Chain A
């Protein structure tokens, strides 16, 4: 018979968890032994429990021998405190009451452990498999790619209600201890109720909780994580999210695709140049159109200026209205094609792209050149490899558009450099976000 202490622990635990429907409390008897098992069947793996605890319970005859078995089993840990026991119970751990002992048996069931294909950061060549939504599986995927003893794994909890488990990974040889300290402090100070995925940290990283630029990189690719571990970055894995967070992140990381290292040198350089050009074009072009058509038509050579002006002859309003109208239409199209179910998606793009674009020009609402520019902007925007950053650029172009509407060409140039200055001002865990020559994070 269990002692009084165990009895009281058992009573207080059962009273605290409100007797849910899926809770199982079972008493087991043999001639020599008596054991009670408490677990929640929807989050615990009953087969594992049966195989590892119940079967030996009936097979091992001596009570002392079974105690030894329990104490030496790697998945079983001893009771520490009541609160911790309840927390663990709510995560799928079974609690065993045996003699004067309380044991915690880890039989959590991992439901989302299927490894998924990459869908956001696709590459033509190279690994095609991303993370799963299960923390142990993700950790395994990373270890599989990074089999080094210097890889250190720590874990912490974030979220007042969700108590989400977050793993902090870094390579002790390469990672900067200051950065690591900052990351840990940051995680400890995160004040949030429900923490579901690493993307939620984007806003929390700023003091004002309002961020425009992503100061961390969220990725679904284990190969990117492995490469970044080797360059001294800190990785966060969040329970239940198939994305890993890479810290600290600078502009260069946001503009790099994994394809860069799977291509030959010059091709990778060419692609990078393409990306930076697209980044700049996408930001500047709408503003430049307004500045050139309304303020300084003499900027371009006369033939080009004439064709722009000629294309705008039928348009009844100033150029900035035209640009805003067209950009707004494009944003709606982009949003619609993301949110729509896959079956209807192509219809939206056809209706929007072909019919609206062509018809708007023929109806005299926008000029033909404007349509070319808007498509240019949209396509350039999609060239940026990291999705979060391409959303940022979508917003930035309105800033330049606004300045160019008021100040003309000066607004475009100064607005562009203001954005650059702002990016220079940002830093991600002590690492400057934008510098021309990015120094190595590891200074020692």
Chain B
């Protein structure tokens, strides 16, 4: 049943193609982003490997079940209380970012809050499903979307206006000193393994090595696509001038024989569902962790309180964060997340070793 791990990894990679990662990488393309990407790949795969194999020692259990009978109750509460926030904010920045994209490219006249309402309605429907069902839904969404997104990426690669020279030019900056920001952004593509903290419940059996080999190659391909395709389309200097480089790239694609001529609409329609499930996965993890914090079963009222908290946070974020501010915050969030992720993996690895030894 290792396909489930694969789905989680793939989902995160696909989502990151569009919103923040290419923007950050392109911003630092002359200041070490290339080297950053190259360094990020082994770091990402290594973290992936360590965490996945560690949590795989507890088959079909999420973190709340694993540490349920741990004696340090206060440790548990601190642990669970802090990490939910990471997952919640991960979903939140994707949500706010994508609503910004929608308001810019699809529905410029509609208030952002209206877009938020329908997104939240769908998300709340999904995150309250059992973990197994969220996985089933993820599988269906990927099944519907991957061929079409693959088609768009393929037509981007084969487009005659793709300038390989610009990409090579950026490639010459490979030996610049890598910046932390670019490493943090690039490793985010791999960080989906941390969703295993809950989704380990549905993963049966041992993880095999080919899983990680697949992650390695997918990661290289994904980062390359996210980083270099916009540069190839808009030139090494021009790429920086776009707020959402990949979406502008999709807008440069023309599907000659299709009734939908501009690829951007296809692209955004697929990404509506991909971001929906991505946010839902993140918030499902967060919700389940909150549920795990309480000692007894969570009542309906408490559940609603959490959902209302989610809704009001996202409403506030949509109202107060504009595109530029969101981009700035995201960069620092990425760095925090990167550090926290390493901390979490190491801590969990040590704890699990003591526990199982």
Q: Interface of A with B (CB < 8 Å)?
A: 295-296, 298-302, 304, 403, 406-411, 413-414, 417-418, 420-422, 424-425, 432, 434-437
Count, chain B residues at interface, CB 8 A: 32
Cα distance A424–B143 in the bound complex, in angstroms: 14
CB pair A407–B118 under 8 Å, yes or no, is yes
CB pair B107–A409 under 8 Å, yes or no, is yes
CB pair B136–A407 under 8 Å, yes or no, is no
Chain A nearest CB, measured from B8 CB (Å): 15
Q: What mask results when residues 158 to 183 of chain B are scored 1 for a CB within 8 Å of chain A, else 0?
A: 00000000000000000000000000
CB pair A425–B259 under 8 Å, yes or no, is no
Cα distance A79–B129 in the bound complex, in angstroms: 53
**Taking each of B140, B262, B265, which has the highest tally of chain A beta carbons within 10 Å of its own beta carbon?**
B140
CB pair A410–B125 under 8 Å, yes or no, is no
For residue B137, which residues in chain A have a CB less than 8 angstroms away from its CB? Answer: 420-421, 424
For residue B133, which residues in chain A have a CB less than 8 angstroms away from its CB? Answer: 424-425, 432
For residue A301, which residues in chain B have a CB less than 8 angstroms away from its CB? Answer: 258-261
CB pair A413–B260 under 8 Å, yes or no, is no
Write the chain B residue with the least CB distance to A301. Answer: B261
For residue A406, which residues in chain B have a CB less than 8 angstroms away from its CB? Answer: 114, 118
Given contacts A420-B140, A422-B125, A432-B133, contact A299 B265 (CB under 8 A): yes
Write the chain A residue with the least CB distance to B121. Answer: A418
Given contacts A434-B140, A436-B136, A436-B143, contact A410 B118 (CB under 8 A): yes
Task: Identify which of residues 123-139 in chain B touch chain A, using a CB-to-CB cut-off of 8 Å.
Answer: 125-126, 129, 132-133, 136-137, 139
For residue A409, which residues in chain B have a CB less than 8 angstroms away from its CB? Answer: 106-107, 265, 269
For the complex, is B14 an interface residue (Cβ under 8 Å from A)? Answer: no
Q: What mask results when residues 252 to 272 of chain B are scored 1 for a CB within 8 Å of chain A, else 0?
A: 000000111110010001001
Q: What mask results when residues 67 to 82 of chain B are scored 1 for a CB within 8 Å of chain A, else 0?
A: 0000000000000000
For residue A435, which residues in chain B have a CB less than 8 angstroms away from its CB? Answer: 136, 139-140
Q: Interface of B with A (CB < 8 Å)?
A: 102, 106-107, 110, 114-115, 118-119, 121-122, 125-126, 129, 132-133, 136-137, 139-141, 143, 258-262, 265, 269, 272-273, 276-277
For residue A414, which residues in chain B have a CB less than 8 angstroms away from its CB? Answer: 118-119, 121-122, 272-273, 276
For residue B136, which residues in chain A have a CB less than 8 angstroms away from its CB? Answer: 424, 432, 434-436
CB pair A424–B140 under 8 Å, yes or no, is yes
**Taking each of A407, A408, A417, A425, which has the highest tally of chain B beta carbons within 10 Å of its own beta carbon?**
A417
Cα distance A403–B119 in the bound complex, in angstroms: 12
Chain B nearest CB, measured from A337 CB (Å): 33
Cα distance A403–B122 in the bound complex, in angstroms: 12
Given contacts A403-B118, A424-B133, contact A299 B260 (CB under 8 A): yes
CB pair A410–B259 under 8 Å, yes or no, is no
CB pair B110–A413 under 8 Å, yes or no, is no
CB pair A300–B273 under 8 Å, yes or no, is no
CB pair A436–B139 under 8 Å, yes or no, is yes
For residue B140, which residues in chain A have a CB less than 8 angstroms away from its CB? Answer: 420, 424, 434-436
CB pair B121–A410 under 8 Å, yes or no, is no
- With A407-B107, A407-B118, A425-B133 already in contact, 12 other A-B pairs whose C-beta atoms are closer than 8 Å: A301-B260, A407-B115, A411-B118, A414-B121, A414-B273, A417-B122, A417-B272, A417-B276, A418-B125, A421-B137, A424-B129, A435-B136
Chain B nearest CB, measured from A273 CB (Å): 14
Chain B nearest CB, measured from A174 CB (Å): 23
For residue A418, which residues in chain B have a CB less than 8 angstroms away from its CB? Answer: 121-122, 125
